[in-house]
Structure 1
Amino acid sequence: MAGHSKWANIQHRKGRQDAKRGKVFTKLIKEITVAAKMGGGDITANPRLRLAVEKARGESMPKDNIENAIKRGTGQLEGVTYEEGRYEGYGISGAAVIVDCLTDNKTRTVADVRHAFSKYGGNMGTDGCVAFQFKHCGQLMFAPGTDEDALMDAALEAGAEDVITNDDGSIEVVTGPYEFSDAKAALEAAGFVAEFGEVTMKPLNETELEGDDAVRMQKLLDALESLDDVQEVYTSAVMDD
């Protein structure tokens, strides 16, 4: 895409995430609780729980917090019951948006999400209206200058689904969502440490926004991400600094 730097966009998004670390523990505890409730408390037998726990450890969450969240999920400790909710819609210039939530009150959550869409120039759509535009996968980003051939060999050996070299020289390794952790560990063992990695909803096509449109889109995303019940926001919009 002319003028667009994948690497700059990833760094921009990571910086915004780091700035919002105050909500990270709350989100992770919710995810661990729900994952344990749905698939049991055994990390080795519950891929979703394993991902959540690894992410919590990566954020230096205390062991007791993790264990208590698992126990709440399995019913060993009392706690709030959370439900999953996914809401879809359109942002500026029709950019696709997915909002994943964990909530104890879906009526409140859907009202809050709809309000954020309408207030900041978006439109909340129906279930499934944009989900087909995304791929659920693991994503590992490597900085420009990484040895492309060696990384490709290591990635394929690690079970990656795809290796993409971007115009700016950054390299993206795509994995299955529940193969992400094993692939990441295998690549690190081979000497390749990603600058950024996550399990995400990757847009199949991107909508590049600039100027006022980019500013308006970022305000919409910020409004959605600031809602207490929102876990993750995914979009096809890309906005460089």
Structure 2
Amino acid sequence: MSGHSKWSTIKHKKAATDAKRGAVFGKLAKKIYLAVKQGGSGDVLKNPFLRGILEEARSANMPSNNVRRAIDKALGVGGEQVMVEIDYEGYGPGGVGIIIKCVTDNRNRTGGEIRTCFDKYGGSLGEPGSVSYMKKIEPVPMMELVGQDLGKIKDLLETLEDHEDIVSVWSNLKQ
């Protein structure tokens, strides 16, 4: 129930909108963190990885203080929690290989949540190297699925992409 005043109606809509924006900003902050770590600099002129992500952040109307905070965290300024990059590999329904790149401050929490996603949709988390070898094969062997397995793998990929700690998801599912 939204109540009887105009503010009661507005605040529910605003809360939903703010939650969506917060999730987008969180993902962008992790991408900025990765770009600074990868490029080695917080300067846009010296770091082409950061330049691309900042364009994405501007298009999402991310506040500049959030951007600055993410850059400072990557450079180690301010003594905040250290973020860790982790790659997970596994197989989804129908044997589709999946590689997940995460940036998290809690390795155990993220690992458990990803394992739960795989279990929920009939997949299994694999050992390091169990899927990444496929990216080295040219051309990459793509899987074509139909029926129930296709629905499950699409749901799994969508769930993984929506996770707050996951930066990117790769699979060899033929689109």
Q: Which bracket does the TM-score occupy, shorter chain normalised?
A: 0.7 to 0.9
Structure 2 counterpart of 1:221: 157
**Is the partner of 2:100 in helix, strand or coil?**
strand
Give the TM-score taking structure 2 as reference length: 0.75
Once the two structures are superposed, what CA deviation does each residue of 1:120-163 show, in whole Å capped at 9, x if it has no partner?
1111111111112237xxxxxxxxxxxxxxxxxxxxxxxxxxxx
Identify if the C-alpha distance between structure 1 residues 231 and 80 changes in structure 2 by more than 3 Å, giving closer, same or farther.
same
**Is the partner of 1:207 in helix, strand or coil?**
coil
- CA contact under 8 A between 2:88 and 2:101: conserved in structure 1? yes
1:40 CA displacement: 2.1
Structure 1 counterpart of 2:113: 112
Give RMSD over aligned pairs: 2.4
How many residues are treated as equivalent by the alignment? 153
Distance 2:104 2:128 in 1: 17
For 1:209, which of 130, 140, 145 is the aligned residue? Answer: 145
Give the TM-score taking structure 1 as reference length: 0.56
Give unpaired runs (5+ residues) of structure 2. Answer: 1-19
- CA contact under 8 A between 1:90 and 1:125: conserved in structure 2? yes
Distance 1:27 1:206 in 2: 28
Structure 2 counterpart of 1:94: 95
1:78 CA displacement: 4.8
Structure 1 counterpart of 2:82: 81
Deviation beyond 6 Å, 4+ runs, structure 1: none
1:101 CA displacement: 0.5
- CA contact under 8 A between 2:26 and 2:164: conserved in structure 1? no
Structure 2 counterpart of 1:188: none
Structure 1 counterpart of 2:45: 44
**Is the partner of 1:52 in helix, strand or coil?**
helix
Distance 1:25 1:90 in 2: 29
Task: Map 1:58-77 to 2 at 5 A.
Answer: 58-77=59-78
Give unpaired runs (5+ residues) of structure 1. Answer: 1-19, 136-202
- CA contact under 8 A between 1:68 and 1:77: conserved in structure 2? no
**Is the partner of 2:122 in helix, strand or coil?**
coil
Structure 2 counterpart of 1:124: 125
Task: Map 1:166-185 to 2 at 5 A.
Answer: none
Q: Which protein is richer in helix relative to its size?
A: 2
Q: 1:27 corresponds to which letter in structure 2?
A: K
Structure 1 counterpart of 2:14: none
